[in-house]
Structure 1
Amino acid sequence: MTAETRPEELGVSGLGEVDEPVFSGLAERHRRELHVHCYRMLGSFEDAEDTVQETFLRAWRRRETFEGRSTFRAWLYRIATNACLDLLAKCRPEPATGGEVLWLQPYPDRLLDELAAGDADEPETVAVARETIELAYLVAVQHLAPRPRAVLILRDVLGWRAKDVAELLGDSVNSVNSALQRARAGMREHLPAERQDWTGGEQDAATRELVRRFTDASVAKDIDGLAAMLRDDVRFSMPPTPGLTIGRDMVVNNWVEDGFADLGRMRCVHTSVNRQPALAFYLWQEQQGAYLPLTLDVLRITGGAIAEITTFHDDQFPRLGLPERLPADAE
């Protein structure tokens, strides 16, 4: 069965006649793409997981309302979008402000890869999927009000028609088009001006070399070396800790004041999240006799320099499939 499965293909007249195991099997085929959709809407991996579960629960309870006018996949997207809007209305009635998103969480590339195969023959689709999962995009979209955010994602990321979006939101096509214009303007305001210069996609040799140098300088606590790799207007944040720092001097001064140079022995494991290079740092703990998780640095690289560093706490390591510890002889 495909994403376009219709009830009659199952030998029934409607989903109301389908038992729970069959229904769950149909829904599970779309779990990853629905999770990514909810993640774009919410900016939080954990909230997206909860919302997908709520989506499946609502879909099962309302299965008799599926009339077959759209695909089962599109029907699930409608339910998921409304579940996201409900969560936002309850927990985050106001969008993010000030250029940072305190609830932001990383999304491991190994899970995004589950979606890649189906779009391999559509380069434009692949490019949109990559650009709209990067952290800078996630931060920008979280600054939009919930409904314009939903319109933008449904229209520009998923490619829905304005008529279908209007039906989902219970609004007019004119209102949807107006909301889309406002959302696009808001994104231009919050996205980096040099977005067209992002590395994106597969990392080239120069990017890999810069990541290696950044890793070596970090492990050596070489602040001057690190500073030399930063853009003048570099941005640094550490969600959920409040505070967005902009500018090389400010960022470096914060590192000095926070005692970065006095940290003990460190090791690093390379990974990737949100289609960006990420560095998982481990700090030597004598009592444990091992290197234990410290922080995850996610880098945005532009024009051969580091334009943004988003640092996450060690509680993100398990989700990313990173080791719980590194042995004493780790290199």
Structure 2
Amino acid sequence: MTSPLLDRARAGDHDAFAELVEPYRRELQLHCYRLLGRLADAEDAVQETLLAAWRGLPEFEGRASVRSWLYRIATHRCLNAIRDGGRRPPPSPVPPFEAPEPTTHTEVPWLQPYPDVLLPESAYLHREQVELAFVEALQQLPPRQTAALVVCDVLGFPLAEAAAMLDTTATAVKGALQRARSTLRSSTTRPPAHGSAEERRLSKEFATAFVADDVDAVVALLTDDAWLAMPPAPHQYVGAAAIAGFLRASAGWRAGRLYSLLPTRANAQPAFGLYLDAAPAGLVVLALDGDRVARITRFMDDTLFPAFGLPRAFSRSPASAAPSGPAPDPAAAPDRW
């Protein structure tokens, strides 16, 4: 049985269609981000989903819910993007200094952070399902397993409905789900409560030490198995000694030029816009564990600043805190460490 709003949309009423799909836009974008690992690709996938939904309205008979129907379209758009090479690794930046030998290399150099301002309110109830470590782990599963895990375990669709969404059988979905669960390791970190005094204290202490190039103070905040990653660069540094070596090499190369940090949030975690002198130099996202920092991820992508509401130039003047002007051209953005 269809609703009057759906009937109006099917009759070609664009306003009715917008009203029909708008409640699901944010959760659809987060869904696409989980599958694709990139904010820009998720935004494209949502636009393609809504266009396909508009064109497919005459065939939609209302047997499934509008939400389930939209998720079906979005999931297939994402799987098609992955199949068509939508997750090809971006070019790796070349460090401008002699960096220490990395401990290991990332398998997901295309990963991007997700602004908290775009998260649905419900995401904070299950923050472990939006944190960077979870999204990165999803990228390392076969795409059909990722889709099954997200549709069933994250979104909570029953097997039969998930099978219809994925154009397969409940048995196939169950098998993919079991394989994904056995591969995906649960996070063992216990971060402070979202927005808590402990989270703010740790974030402030990290920022103070980081901008001062006080490597010893940064190291004192780390867990024993902490690591530093810098997508799209493949290098990862694991353990306090390796991280300290990289930070000291970076400080030596800058030769007195100053870092500045502006607080923001990404993936339900503390984050900062990073500036070298006044110029954007990437985004830093922290994963916290108890009263320590377990993971530092520096995204060397200045084009993400507008999505996080960060200014394109750093100034200590309050008037400069809001972004202005056109978004930067991604092709013109320099690689920076």
Whether 1:281 aligns to 2:274 is: yes
User: Residue deviations 1:131-172, cap 9 Å, x none?
Assistant: 111101101111111111001001011100000111122222
TM normalised by structure 2 equals 0.83
Alignment equivalent of 1:225, drawn from 196, 212, 217: 217
Alignment equivalent of 1:305, drawn from 285, 292, 299: 292
Question: Alpha-carbon deviation of 1:17?
Answer: 2.3
Residue type of the alignment partner of 1:107:
Y
Alignment equivalent of 2:196, drawn from 192, 201, 204: 204
Whether 1:267 aligns to 2:265 is: no
Decide whether the 8 Å contact of 1:293 with 1:324 is kept in 2.
Answer: yes
Paired residue for 1:28? 22
Question: Alpha-carbon deviation of 1:254?
Answer: 1.6
Whether 1:239 aligns to 2:253 is: no
Residue type of the alignment partner of 1:218:
F
Describe the SS at the equivalent of 2:213. Answer: coil
Decide whether the 8 Å contact of 2:113 with 2:267 is kept in 1.
Answer: yes
Question: Alpha-carbon deviation of 1:273?
Answer: 0.9
Question: Alpha-carbon deviation of 1:98?
Answer: 6.0
Larger relative contact order (CA 8 Å, sep ≥ 6): 2
Decide whether the 8 Å contact of 2:279 with 2:314 is kept in 1.
Answer: yes
Decide whether the 8 Å contact of 1:43 with 1:139 is kept in 2.
Answer: yes
Paired residue for 2:280? 293
User: What is the rounded CA distance, in whole Å, between the counterparts of 1:15 and 1:24 in structure 2?
Assistant: 8
Taking a change above 3 Å as real, the CA distance of residues 38 and 204 of structure 1, as seen in their structure-2 partners, is same
Question: Alpha-carbon deviation of 1:94?
Answer: 9.0
User: What is the rounded CA distance, in whole Å, between the counterparts of 1:268 and 1:154 in structure 2?
Assistant: 36
Question: Alpha-carbon deviation of 1:321?
Answer: 0.4
Question: Alpha-carbon deviation of 1:24?
Answer: 3.1
Decide whether the 8 Å contact of 1:298 with 1:311 is kept in 2.
Answer: yes
- RMSD of equivalent CA atoms: 2.5
Question: Alpha-carbon deviation of 1:21?
Answer: 3.4
Residue type of the alignment partner of 2:183:
G
Question: Alpha-carbon deviation of 1:256?
Answer: 2.0
User: What is the rounded CA distance, in whole Å, between the counterparts of 1:7 and 1:91 in structure 2?
Assistant: 38
Residue type of the alignment partner of 1:228:
A
Whether 1:9 aligns to 2:1 is: no
The size of the alignment, in residue pairs, is: 303
Taking a change above 3 Å as real, the CA distance of residues 230 and 263 of structure 1, as seen in their structure-2 partners, is farther
Structure 2, gaps ≥5 residues long? 90-103, 322-337
Question: Alpha-carbon deviation of 1:15?
Answer: 5.3
Taking a change above 3 Å as real, the CA distance of residues 168 and 328 of structure 1, as seen in their structure-2 partners, is closer
Question: Alpha-carbon deviation of 1:210?
Answer: 1.7
Identity of aligned residues (%): 40
Taking a change above 3 Å as real, the CA distance of residues 208 and 67 of structure 1, as seen in their structure-2 partners, is same
Structure 1, gaps ≥5 residues long? 1-5, 120-124, 285-290
User: What is the rounded CA distance, in whole Å, between the counterparts of 1:222 and 1:279 in structure 2?
Assistant: 17
